[in-house]
Amino acid sequence: MARALMIGAGGVASVCAHKCVQNHEVFTELCIASRTLSKCQALKDQLDGKGTEITIAQLDADNTDDVISLIEQYKPDIVINLALPYQDLSIMDACLATKTHYLDTANYEPEDTAKFEYKWQWAYRERFEKAGITGILGSGFDPGVTSVFSAYALKHYFDEIHYIDILDCNAGDNGYPFATNFNPEINIREVSAKGSYWENGEWIETEPMEIKRVYDFPQVGEKSMYLLHHEELESLALNITGIRRIRFFMTFSESYLTHLKCLENVGMTSIEPILFQGMEIVPLQFLKAVLPDPASLGPLTKGKTNIGCIFHGVKDGVEKSYYVYNVCDHEETYKEVGSQAVSYTTGVPAMIGAMLVVTGQWARPGVYNVEEFDPDAFMEALNQWGLPWVEDFSPTPVE
């Protein structure tokens, strides 16, 4: 039925490819294109003969003309961008030039400034609309599922949502003293940045890791979590009716934070280039090169993730709370698709979002965040494709 071009062959892309192949009635053809062809080949070797016709291509997605050529040659119905946030705009430009639907899981971030915002991608709205193509931003877990959870809560349980707390808990242990569960460069840029949250119409900025809370996560237990800025706050603050405050918390172990502080203190997390033996290098990119590849953590990681949202608002004049979350087990996802749960929880919603576009359910010309669509089909697909969710109507609030 549909032909998809997936860009990237890392942790998230690997899961998405497995899920597209499981869903081969929809994804009859898949081209895996990435910078390193051997990674595409390795994925093809795992997935050939399982129902989807797989081809591979070497591609530098920073080069719009190369992306255009590949799209013109392969003629996909959709481009699933699972490379890095730096490539979002060059790939969106190629989609515009070829009138092809677009989907990603992380918003654009210039390589030389650790600041992610939607403004660059929202600027494509009118051009996508005129071209008659759909651009879906942030169809991973957070953003992605957390955004769909918010749309679902508003549609079914609230007239107005006043408070949202997004809680992202990874209680997985990979045995390393310090390793990141997705691209280390993107992960460290995110957690070493200042925190912020939206309250009463404005952003309140905090120092990195300044706000700490302890929460007892269902099926996981008590964990320390820290307030971070996170990209879905920006779009949810605009798209969900009645918002007074929206915050994002992520759990980190003491060991992770101690290592991070130490790396920061010695300058290893900096994105300012330095001269080393006559060559310019970016310390954070060098650090990425010495850290374990997140794609290699699959067989080592044990434990669970629990990611969800706690809502508080009103329905028919009565105040109420609602918590919806997914629990995902690292060892089970490894058994199923050969990846740990952080890649899994991102790769599955990428496939689901792409499926909803190519089947026409979410096809609407323009550029959208996922909470702008009807959430029901996505919620149903989460249960079907490996990320079942749990509801709690009397959750413990976060202070």
Give the binding site for ligand NDP (CB under 6 A): 7-13, 34-36, 39, 59-62, 82-85, 87, 105-106, 138, 140-144, 182-183, 186, 294-295, 346
Query: If 0-12 CB within 10 Å is exposed, 13-18 middle and 19+ buried, where does residue 279 land?
Result: exposed
Q: Closest distance between ligand NDP and the C-beta of residue 393, in Å?
A: 26
Q: Which residues contact 46 (CB under 8 A, 6 or more apart)?
A: 18, 338
Residue 8 or 283 having the CB closest to ligand NDP: 8
Residue 10 or 172 having the CB closest to ligand NDP: 10
Q: Closest distance between ligand NDP and the C-beta of residue 295, in Å?
A: 5
Residue 67 or 209 having the CB closest to ligand NDP: 67
Q: Closest distance between ligand NDP and the C-beta of residue 292, in Å?
A: 11
Residue nearest to ligand NDP (CB): 10
Q: Closest distance between ligand NDP and the C-beta of residue 53, in Å?
A: 21
Residue 123 or 289 having the CB closest to ligand NDP: 289
Residue 3 or 35 having the CB closest to ligand NDP: 35
Q: Measuring CA to CA, how many Å separate 280 from each of 27, 62, 184, 260, 271?
A: 43, 20, 20, 23, 12
Cis peptide before 143 (omega within 30 of 0): yes
Nearest alpha-carbon partner for 24 in 45, 46, 4 = 4
Residue 131 or 295 having the CB closest to ligand NDP: 295
- For 216, phi then psi, to 5°, come to -95, 100
Q: Closest distance between ligand NDP and the C-beta of residue 67, in Å?
A: 9
Residue 87 or 333 having the CB closest to ligand NDP: 87
Query: If 0-12 CB within 10 Å is exposed, 13-18 middle and 19+ buried, where does residue 280 land?
Result: exposed
* Helical segments of 132-183, H only: 145-156
CA atoms within 13 A on the CB side of 223: 22
Give ∠ CA 12-219-224 in degrees, rounded to 5.
80
Residue 263 or 297 having the CB closest to ligand NDP: 297
Q: Closest distance between ligand NDP and the C-beta of residue 43, in Å?
A: 10
Q: Closest distance between ligand NDP and the C-beta of residue 382, in Å?
A: 13
Nearest alpha-carbon partner for 225 in 236, 233, 213, 217 = 213
d(CA 158, CA 153): 6
The two beta strands, 318-329 and 304-315, are antiparallel
Separation of first and last alpha carbons in the chain: 49
> Residues 30, 14: contact at Cβ < 8 Å?
no
| CA-based radius of gyration for the chain | 20
Q: Closest distance between ligand NDP and the C-beta of residue 136, in Å?
A: 12
Residue 151 or 312 having the CB closest to ligand NDP: 151
Q: Closest distance between ligand NDP and the C-beta of residue 95, in Å?
A: 15
